[in-house]
Amino acid sequence: MRLLILLLCFLAGCLAQKPHPCSSPPLLSGALTVSTQNEKLWTYAKYLYDAMGQRIRIMELGAYENKSFNFDALLLYKEATMYEINDVNRTCQKKPLKVDFQPMGIPKDASLLGQVVLGSSSGPGQGLLVNSWTGDLPDKSGMFMSTVTEFGCIPVSSAFFNNIIGIDDPGLLNPPDFCLDAELNADSEEEPRNAYLPYSTSDHMRALILFVCLAVGCLAQEPRPCRSPALLTGQLSVSSPSKKLMAFAKYSYDALGERIRIREIGHYGKKTFHHDVLLLYRQRVMYKINYRNHTCCKKRLCVDFHPLAIPRNSTLLAQVVLGSSSGPGEGVLVNTWLGELHMKKEPANYMSTVTEFGCVPVSTVFHSNRTGWVVTSFFNNVIGLTDPQQLLIPAMCKHAQLEEEDGEEPESFFSLF
């Protein structure tokens, strides 16, 4: 019992400490995806990372402007050389590598954005404690925002996943036999590539990084569509590059009473906005609340309530671990699903990620011709209502008169953003 108390006190002390910049493990194996905001590039790659030998191997498959491609590269930073490898034709191009090796990690001059739980802290296996950082790129050519696990400093966003501490196949970090006689192509005018920008263009510097994770076959039972907890309280962020939108919101969600409360602040274009909205689906009304002016706008809500869930007709994309499966507190098991929604004016596609245990929402990527890409990330979720009063009609709203629609599409949980 004393040992247990000491362990709990130690963990509490660790959690109370302010996060510090960190270095990721020097040996990593995993996978990553990259998607750009102009929607022209999407890639999936396996990678091996050796910070001690300053070697990186990337084997990727992707699509650029509706054309598919394969790319296999070995980057040897100490030798200032990279090999573009074609195992099918057993050919190899040797090129100069003119960039310095940048180890994975959070630079000492980075600024902490926040520490959050992806998923939920309400139960075991439902959440992952992570730290988000921002700062300038090493060459001052832009800025970065990176998220790593609190325990282990495992990269979570910047599109790294399938992370395992160590190298599962060290031979992949050696040049293949058919590359040993390759001549160095020093006359190439193409800008050398590196592990973080496989296609070095300004558009990719502004890449919209999707949350991604480590694929494992831990469970013998195939994941099934699920429904999130009926009562949830948490936070979310919403971004839409095509609409120049970034929003942060606190939410309260009641599937039993079909009620949702959202309080958000964000930027649209170059303007800042605030929204405080109470959605009452059973009464088919919504209230736009302004506590500063002590005013309330009551509108008709003509859409049905859709609980947070994975629809039964969804298709499983993958079961993955967000972060790493190498140690406790370094990862959380999640499932990613694809599907199509039949909206009032047009169909829309979605990709949703939820925790395997608890079906707690982690992220959703939503796309329609009207909205473009909309990425929603959920964090600091708690099962239950931390403040049930937030879902009650404020006193100043009880006498608000219903305002009829002006021809716009009715408001919904998604269209609020």
Global pTM value? 0.69
Question: Residue 5 has what pLDDT?
Answer: 42
pLDDT for position 391: 95
Average pLDDT value for residue range 53-64: 91
Residue 14 has pLDDT above 70, yes or no: no
Q: Which fold has domain 109-152+216-417?
A: outer membrane lipoprotein receptor (LolB), chain A (2.50.20)
Check pLDDT > 60 for residue 180. Answer: yes
When pLDDT is cut at 50, 70 and 90, the band that residue 43 belongs to is confident
What are the beta bridge partners of residue 247? Answer: 238, 266
Residue 235 banded pLDDT, cuts 50, 70, 90 = very high
270: left (phi over 0), alpha (psi -120 to 50) or beta: alpha
**Domain ranges for the chain:** 21-105+158-212, 109-152+216-417
Quickly list DSSP for 311-361.
-TT-EEEEEEEEEBSSSTTSEEEEEEEEEEEE-SSSEEEEEEEEETTT--E
365-407, pLDDT tens digit by residue? 888 887 777 889 999 999 999 999 999 999 999 888 888 765 4
What is the pLDDT confidence band of residue 208, given thresholds at 50, 70 and 90? very low
pLDDT for residue 197 is more than 90: no
User: Could you tell me what percent of the chain has a pLDDT over 90?
Assistant: 38
Question: Can you give the pLDDT at residue 186?
Answer: 62
The C-alpha atoms of residue 239 and residue 161 are separated, in whole angstroms, by: 21
